[in-house]
Structure 1
Amino acid sequence: MCPEAADMLKMKYDCTLEASAAAYAKGCSLTNSSVNSRPNEGENHWVALFTGDSTQDVPNAIDAWYSEITRNGLNKQMMYWISLETKPNGPRSFTQMAWANTYKVGCAVALCGTNTFTVCRYSPRIALSESDYSGNIVDEKIYTLGTPCQSCPSTCVAGEDLCETPST
């Protein structure tokens, strides 16, 4: 579906990001939070009817975010152009998950009436200026095209075709 990434970092689960996601999910908001409220975190948000099985909410949300690429497509250069930022129903949640430099994730689910609110937070997030933060950075590569691990900043995780994450 997407071309191979030469510099994709392996994700690590982060309990601090989970707590941050849980705090926002409990508010039952229908929109993403303000970037100013989470300057070091990217975010995906998904609302669905409660099915009685909350263990499937995070996998279902991830599937929905991933499917954005099949519905909306992405350019072959894997660039995050302004057209992706402004396109109605653009693949912004997909690109947040696929951003090569992101390597921490934490997710949470809250029951709000008959709906479940799933929020995942991602880090690190790059500050463009003191007042403008973005996980999806216009005119930047989502990831570098190439043979897996070809452009790893350190080493390749054996058998996974992913780059080792920083030790921080």
Structure 2
Amino acid sequence: MNRFTSILLSLPLALALLAPGVDATSQADITAYLTAHNSVRAQHGAAALTWNETLAGAAQSWVNKCVFKHSGGSLGPYGENLAAGTGTYPITSAVKSWTNEVSDYDAQNPQPSHFTQVVWKNTKQLGCAVADCSTIFPPKYGVAHFYACEYYPAGNVIGQFPQNVQA
């Protein structure tokens, strides 16, 4: 094999190593997702979540569809939170939209919510993703940042709220 052939054969491998996929979640975003979740979980007696690439991949496959509805379990046995916003709508805003539901939580009559999934004590792993979508809101509002977070094990299990949600 001559030197030219060797360089050509090595090029795809080098490009694959240097350029992660378009959908890869950056380390800064992973930190932002985990920090936003874990700071609230700590306030509610739940242990910190860890990042899971499989969950992140599932979330990415969902947001890439740009359809603002829950996956209905089609991605796996995961819990799921979705959020979308236009303009400046960072990760922290998406997670805050879920955790602000704490004011709606009634321990005497617990109901599944975005908040309860975030703080669910038995949930241990998190994977999230974002896509920019022009089909979620009417065009006059612009492109939406569409977030999905997948949780494992899933929370919001009926009958298990008292031991998993500390309001």
- TM-score of the superposed pair, with normalisation by structure 1: 0.61
Aligned partner of 1:29: which letter?
A: V
Between Structure 1 and Structure 2, the one with more strand by share is 1
Counterpart residue number, 1:64: 97
Alignment RMSD, CA only? 2.6
In percent, how many aligned pairs have the same letter?
A: 26
Matched, 1:137 2:166: no
Aligned mate of 2:128, from 85, 107, 113: 107
Give 1:10 deviation, angstroms. Answer: 2.1
Runs of 4+ more than 6 Å apart:
none
Aligned residues: 118
Counterpart residue number, 1:13: 51
RCO (CA 8 Å, sep 6+): is it higher in 1 or 2?
A: 1
CA contact (8 A) 1:104 1:124 kept: yes
Inter-CA distance 136–144: structure 2 relative to 1 (3 Å threshold): closer
Q: Distance in 2 between matches of 1:137 and 1:26?
A: 27
CA contact (8 A) 2:52 2:125 kept: yes
Q: Distance in 1 between matches of 2:53 and 2:67?
A: 21
Matched, 1:124 2:145: no
Structure 1 unaligned segments of length 5 or more: list them: 86-91, 126-134, 147-168
Counterpart residue number, 1:75: 107
Q: Distance in 2 between matches of 1:10 and 1:65?
A: 17
Give 1:95 deviation, angstroms. Answer: 0.5
- TM-score of the superposed pair, with normalisation by structure 2: 0.62
3-state secondary structure, aligned to 2:127: strand
Between Structure 1 and Structure 2, the one with more helix by share is 2
Give 1:16 deviation, angstroms. Answer: 1.3
Q: Which has the larger radius of gyration?
A: 2
Give 1:20 deviation, angstroms. Answer: 0.7
Aligned partner of 2:116: which letter?
A: T
